[in-house]
Structure 1
Amino acid sequence: MNKKVVAVLALALAGAAVWWTQNRQDSSGTGEPIVQVAVPSSLSPMAEQGKAAFDANCASCHGPTGSGRDGLAPPLIHKIYEPSHHSDMAFTLAVRQGVRAHHWRFGNMAPVDGVSDTSIKAITSYIRELQRANGIQ
């Protein structure tokens, strides 16, 4: 191989390494909850439906109560996701289009296929009720 080809390959590998570290979560994470979440004693019927949909579509990354998972995904029960900063539509767009990492170093979130608009609305209701129970308005 000539020196130019080796240099281009080395540069490409270096670029890939930089991209990987900036766009992927830290694999040294423990998967443990990031924040403690107080769960209300009861949820509205819409939030109950949302909990079921959240458990099926979101909990594997964001934790069963939106507490986040170390090294995997951020907590949704956090001031960053309060309604005045991330509207309900932001949750819809995240599910439909994915999210480019911007607040946390977990990497990008891919779109989540197969979640209906009704389920997204219910999931958002569940998240909002958990947020209110934890002083996030």
Structure 2
Amino acid sequence: MSRNAIYGIFAVILLGTGYWWTSTSRMPSGSGSIVPSEVGAPMATVVLPDALSANAEIGKLAFDAKCAVCHGTNAAGQDGVAPPLVHKIYEPGHHGDASFLLAAKNGVRAHHWRFGNMPPVEGITDGDVKMIVAYVRELQRANGIN
């Protein structure tokens, strides 16, 4: 058998495995409170804190204006659109505050979820992102994500 034939067989196996893996699930196993739903429906059940800090209140306004269109109301995600940010993957020890800033400014290549790449967020400032992170972190804490 020629070297090209072996490479071809290997490529077919890799592509088939990749297709199977992406078609079976959109997220890592053991990921928390994700609910099965239809496209665009919230992916997580989010418990709201009794009150938000002043910074988180400002962050909520910015989140609603710039992020909710993809990440859903109260960062619950949208099935088939974008992941929930109230999820253990985004806990501070795994995705620090700076990762949110970098994601907003530069976009992010898909790496935990299979929604595709996140584009940069147009018209958002570092200050906006700081307030958005305050909001997301308070939502996370209210949901046991520290």
TM-score normalized by the length of structure 1? 0.79
The residue that corresponds to 1:75 in the other structure is: 84
Unaligned 5+ runs, structure 2: 1-17, 27-37
How many pairs does the alignment contain?
112
Percent sequence identity is 59
Render the CA deviation track for 1:17-76: whole Å, top value 9, x for unaligned: x9xxx8xxx9xx510000100011210000000000000000010011000000000000
The runs of at least 4 aligned residues of structure 1 exceeding 3 Å deviation read none
Residue 55, structure 1, aligned to residue 64, structure 2: yes
User: Are 2:144 and 1:135 equivalent residues in the alignment?
Assistant: yes
Cα-Cα RMSD: 1.5
Bigger RCO (CA 8 Å, 6+ sep): 1
Unpaired segments ≥5 residues, structure 1: 1-17
| Secondary structure at the counterpart of residue 75 of structure 2 | coil
Partner of 2:99: 90
Residues 92-133 of structure 1 deviation map (CA, whole Å, 9 limit, x = unaligned): 000000000000000000000111111100000000000000
Q: TM-score, normalised by structure 2?
A: 0.74
Query: In 1, distance between residues paired with 2:126 and 2:89?
Result: 23
User: Aligned match of 1:112 in 121, 132, 135?
Assistant: 121
Q: Match of 1:125, as an amino acid?
A: A
